[in-house]
Chain A
Amino acid sequence: MRSEMTQMLRLQWQSSRWLLLVLAVICIGLPQASVRLALWVGGDDVLASGRLLAQLGSTSGLYPFLAAITGALVALTAWNWDHRTGHVYALSLPVSRTQYALLKLWAGAVVMLVPVLAIWAGAWIATAMTTLPSGLRAYPFAFGARFLLAALLVYATVFALASGTIRTTLIVTGVFCVLFIGGSIAVPWIESQFGVDLISPTQVLGEAFTSWPGPFRVFGGSWLLIDV
């Protein structure tokens, strides 16, 4: 099993190394850029007045977006070569489909550590080079851990979606779209026409996913590298 794991890791690296390099550059640069920008926009009194937090908050939305992009792209590259060859090579290997998928899942998660380590390093360098006002603290490790969690979540979701055929993926995505779009249009219309109070499936699903203990809760709240 060890040789298969090593080989799968090698394949994953080969299929996504340029993407990982680009992501790593962005991940290492973004925390530094956002801290520098906050210092620059805030002017001379930014450290004294504590306006640093407000300035950092204006760019904090980029981190969950970057985590989602990282997870999604790594998941797509995990299956890319298999899709291109019609999965024939994978299906001819003497491992079960579950085992193959788990090997791929593992390899993708491992290579995703590259951008995660980059964001952690970027956050650490950015905060280490800044003198923080009293009362504020830097959280580079927690920030990196949150990024990892968010990226892994999207990675696992997209990985599962992309593992099937294009038809399966379209069906699953289509069902979700119908549920969300249909729910958000049909429910208000029925409510206004018939004067009834319905439970919107869009709202229920949205809340289930994004509020605690929903899995996508990690994307909510503030993504501040520096906080009180």
Chain B
Amino acid sequence: MSDLNVEKIKSESRALRGTLHDSLADPTTGAIAPGDTVVSKFHGIYQQDDRDARTERRDARLEPLYQFMLRVRIPGGRVTRAQWQALDRLADKYANGTLRLTSRQAIQFHGISRESLRDLVRGIDAVGMDSLAACGDVNRNVMCHVQPELGGLHADTLDWAARLSAHLTPATAAWREIWIDGEKVGLEGGDEAGEDEPIYGRAYLPRKFKVGIAVPPSNDIDVFSQDLGFIAIEDDCNDERDHNHHDKRRLAGFNVVAGGGMGCSHGEPDTFPLLGRVIGFIEPEQMLELAEAVVTAQRDFGDRSNRKHARFKYTLDDHGTDWLLEQIRQRSEIELQPARPFEFTHSGDAFGWTERADGHLQCTVFVENGRIGPRQRAGLMELIERHLEDFRVTPNQNLVLTGIEPSSREAVGDLLAEFDLEGGGRRSVLRKHSMACVALPTCGLAMAEAERYLPDLITRIEELAAQHEIEDQPINIRMSGCPNGCSRPYLGEIGLVGRAPGRYNLYLGAAFNGERLNRLVMDNVDEAAILDAVDGWFRRYSAERDAGETFGNFSVRSGLVAAVVHGSEVNAPASDRP
């Protein structure tokens, strides 16, 4: 994509139409036109190819095995029974038979042929889902915790997440025109197209934009990794709150977190992950206006000349917090209040069973790397058709089963076991706190394996943890196939970022609750070197940790790695280490 003029393509796309209509009809290729690969992302559709098949096909004078990934946008991650049934059926009919839960609570289909795209999109539309703005230089899927049943604060924030998502969704009719109606209509000129998009304008944003809402003490959405994050703050007037009476908790408003983001490039020190900074507090009713102010500030000030410097995190890092507050003031007349106190204890998911206020049960199930294959699909279909209200996709690529009658608990447990789904303690806490992106063979950016390899690596690491008797300690281990960081690897207590097949950059020292980035400790190393390093760390952790001390915090306190204060230090040379 680097050789494409993305800004030109966007602004000439006639509100995201491009030449997709013609591209879809070209019989000589399974691809879409190069410019349309940019446009299609805004429709939630990535052109990829089976990288495992590249060499064989090139030798056979065949073009790459082009196929598409479609990302269903699911604000807050809630999937109804009817929707799940549709997704399940569509995965078999038009995709590769799997569903992929993502680290942004979306669901992806992989391996779709171009010819099947329209049928698949129509299939999700029929159950009230869409893929518009699931990718592209716009606001992506709005993340939020997934269990509103846990209390009023949760329900309110989820409601705000939905309103925010709707507010920031592109206004263009192109998605429906191209995929559902299939007719070649729409704007011929370029100028009026921009008027369709009051927030984004003709050229949309300089780069993708990510928004999420966290409810302490869980930082499951990694609020500091978002371009724009919100931390739900409880009304502190109610100082006699009782955790057993959830309905007494009230949403006071949100702390606003700005300028986080994961992506960077190997060997380019001007690119780095950054944690968002807390810039103040707003009341709930100010949320949409504030978000629009931040988004339009990024639209107008983001760097459109260099995509590697275009994320909002750089805009804010370059201009500073005061500039942003002034932009917000000018664009919305909102004056932020001082931030309120909050405490996060963890960023991973809490697995297992919880009881709702209404007496029903919910169960958070581990889905390794978010991949749901045919067998797990069969199990989940049986569960949702017989025992559940719906599914929730968690920010860590797992699933919550909701609305289970207490009398069904045993039956649900049996089904989970039968279909090799994780409801209880059969998998290690290490594994359940691991996360990998998709990477090979479909992702065009991947430099090394992630999803297909991490499970094996975790098995090795489990052995080390057992040797050092720390196997009950949850440790966030995150692997990405490239430095763009879809699995948020720079927030892993142990992070692995692909360099080349079989080789990774190894990171250490992020906080378990997502409030501190990790730091590069070994460059371009193979599995043996990784395991050797982890073995040493575990030995010391086992011997020297304080009671309740997380692995990431220990690694900093003990001097295994120096804490990162600013994201530009993440990839800094090892000489910075004490």
Asked if A and B bind, the verdict is no
Interface residues of B (CB under 8 A from A): none
Interface residues of A (CB under 8 A from B): none
